[in-house]
Structure 1
Amino acid sequence: MSSLILQIALPSPLRRLFDYRAGPGLSADQLLPGMRVRVPFGQRQLVGLIVSSSSTSVVPASKLRSISELIDLSPVLPKSLWLLCIWTAQYYQHSLGDTLSCALPNLLAQGEAALARQDMLWQLLPAAYPEHPALRRAQKQKEAVRILAQHPHGLSHALLSQWGLARDTLEALERKQLVQRITQSPHHQREPLPLLREPHLQANAEQQAALQAIAAGKGFTAWLLQGITGSGKTEVYLQSIEHCLRDGRQALILVPEIGLTPQTVERFRRRFNVPLAVLHSGLNDRERLDAWLAAREGEAALVIGTRSAIFTPLARPGLLIVDEEHDLSYKQQEGLRYNARDLAVYRAHLEQIPVILGSATPSLESLHNVERGRYQLLRLSERAGNARPPQFQCIDIRSQPLQDGLSRPLLQAIGSHLKHGNQVLVFINRRGFAPTLMCHDCGWIADCRRCDARMTLHQQPAHLHCHHCDSQRPIDRQCPKCQSSDLRPIGAGTERTEDSLQQQFPGYPVLRIDRDSTARKDAMQQLLARVHSGAPCLLVGTQMLAKGHHFPDVTLVAILDADGGLFSADFRGPERMAQMITQVAGRAGRADKPGQVLIQTHMAEHPLLQDLCGPGYPAIAASELALRHSAGLPPCRYAALLRAEANLAQTAEDFLQLAADLALKYQLPVEILGPVPAAMERRAGRYRAQLLLLAEQRATLHSLLTPWLQQLELLPAARKVRWSIDVDPLDMF
């Protein structure tokens, strides 16, 4: 029996490693950290990764079990990514096994071989030609030879039907030794091509200065590229990537949402003649593994993906880019609660390569890092070409009649822009027909039965929907409280706004872009294609329209309700509102046509709206950062949030009170706030509460978290609640 003991990381929430005996005939030299093994775990077989080995174990020899199978002959992750996963687990106080499982494609985490799918191609042999004697009476085979002659590098088996070819015909040619089957990676580049498919644009002075600064840097530097909307940040990305590719290295580009991925991929494919891999949650497991392996083996020179793509291995890393770095989508809100933007910076440090964080509205965390000298700031303050920033104006809607949330001055402005052949974007960040349904007689409101929230009324299809727990039910026909049938929709969402605009402007198409209208595959691309046709139209949408899109024919952006973020209970509310309005306003006036932004509000004199209409986001960010300094709030202090939920509110709060009392015993300079109920206390039938920890130094906070969480796991009360820790939380409520 082997005396070698392996410490294995398994996909388990427990923050510990598991000891197993190595299999017979396996030595420490053969078993390296990062190799996958299959092991018995209870009644199941799990796939884990070797972390270390030793000759002893604290587990009694009689209870030690042996691994079932060694899956890999070499580590599945490169060293830098292995170190990134270890750091991620430690920093976010998460199980290493779970962290490694998140970093691997599903098929690898399940134990599949780390082998990419190969494309099968049919290729003519040198002896083949259409008038070959063996083809004298075989017209279909002659035609097949003619078609294959047009594809000297081979024709993919998947494309046979598009060329009218049958497999039987090709197999007959194969028996005559006139064609052969070959296999190769889908990302294989058959012959050297010029790097650029289209020449890069002429950089203006600010872009050139940014490019020179990035190119002159050696090793790791974190660059914050702050450029107003339409200033050409993407061109800086593209030319920085060109420099990286000419050095024979790979670039990884993160985008915040799947919806932005196709247009980003298309932009990069138009510019570069290199294999490109895409990773996001919309892929199936096989597609994701193939792209992951193409990046790891160096076949894909460019890798584009959403949040989880930060764990993609690169054979020759050269550059990391995080587009729209302020976006909340980079923060994972369940399980391993990592922030992909911050991991990109740490990974660039491990790889000793530059990282570019780009945004028109940088997060206060990134601006704070600039103040402290951790990031280097690059500014783009002018729009590219002849475009000019749009003009802002507030429409004071106090005492004004509104038609489905639309004021008369706004409707007149929309009509004027449409008549001049332009496009109009109407922004309302609420899905559905109306935020809720109310009884006009007794005031009953359609509340969610599982959450402290109201049901949203949808008409397409007709139903009530809670956007917090996803519960749905038919629309009430009578008030359950007073049996009145006078039930009315209150407020407006995207559906109601769409209907109202269709009635007001019947001669123009109204395109609604939200999560509901783009749920079908390719729906988003079809809608955007109609916008890019340039024909006059109205776009109605949520924050899906607020970033990354280039709409050269949009000359008016109308923001229907700007008041929601002015009095948010979240201290980040003003920052996020300013970012949202600035981003959506940036869709106007991006070409030669001047742009206009109209903001409907009941608070036209509010300082934040005045700053948006005047000096803009930089002034708001500076003011908010000063307020955070004075209040001792992140990013000026470091935070962790302990959340708990249970069937009874008291159970969750009792657990958090025990946790607070335990934390105080460490006598560290960490402020403990709470426990308090969450802003939405009941969600999906469970009651939620939270405990906030704040510290001046990151090291101080973590010196408490590590031993504290280990003790919390041992508390009997911890088994009565569902609890989690969120380091650097962005959602405090």
Structure 2
Amino acid sequence: MKFAEVAVDAPAGRDRTFSYSIPDHLDIVLGQSVKVPFGPRTLQGIVFAVVDAPQVEETRDIADTLSADALLESHQLSLARWISEYYLSSLFESAALMLPPGGRFRPRTFYSLSPDVDDVAEAANSPHQQRFLEYIQRHEMVDAGRLDRALGPNSRSVAARLVERGLLESKVRSSSRQMTHKLVEHIALNPEMLEEIGVWLKNAPRRAARQATLVDALLEADAPLPATEARKEFGAHNVARLRERQWLTITQQRTDRDPLAGQMFDPESAVCLTSQQQSVTDAVCAGLDHPDEAPRTFLVQGVTGSGKTEIYLAAAERCLELGQRAIVMVPEIALTQQTIERFA
């Protein structure tokens, strides 16, 4: 039997993994997202290693997989270990920074009235419990967060007691932000209506000139046209009119997301540092060139706009020249556009 060392989404064991046995029906790989039992709960975990022997004598089985394949590669797991050790963050949270959109599993608890409850007023032990049960009865199924907002911060403890009494049922479902493919609506002429379209085109009234132009454009096009562009160029009303006549076929085509689409960037000339900036940059780069002879840590102080970022970027460039790596962290959301322009 194989075992997996899993970093679990829990405060316990900040910098460690937990051993789980791998059931025969699961094919577990390094960097995979899994669902594991942890105390009374089921939580998300990330597989950091697949081993032959566990850390403890008794292990629990991995409940299920949350991803078909690995979400993180070995070098990302190594980076997560370094982040956890250096910044004293949990191993899971360090790895979760690199998960793709939708890769974070967040369990949500939903409550519903037990089918055995016939009379809410009779089942409740207090007016507060009655209001609680009546609220859930009205909404059929309510998640714990909504209960907190509607009935107060102690609602979860009340719900837990009602579950113990058999008056409520609870279910745990996963909630994650899913990233889907971007689909763009395209239009083309309906091949079954081409004869009718041809007859109309020969006798198209003057008031329908833009509709005729749209039909010509679709006839000449080698592929379906994006509906948004067609509406912009020929008018949304004219596209709608052709659609009402069933002259158009509508398809959804997948397109790649490009955050830089439509943006133009002028090539930026080399930044000329001031004498003070250059002096600091030289000292930092000397430390990178000769790490055993110079200090490894530098504190650069300066008012806003004094050029600290330029010094850091120059140091990052030197790191790359030396075959090393650097991380650029943008401290303010207002600098997003400037950063995009710099690196795009």
TM-score (norm 2): 0.49
- In proportion to residue count, which structure has more helix? 2
Larger Rg: 2
TM-score (norm 1): 0.26
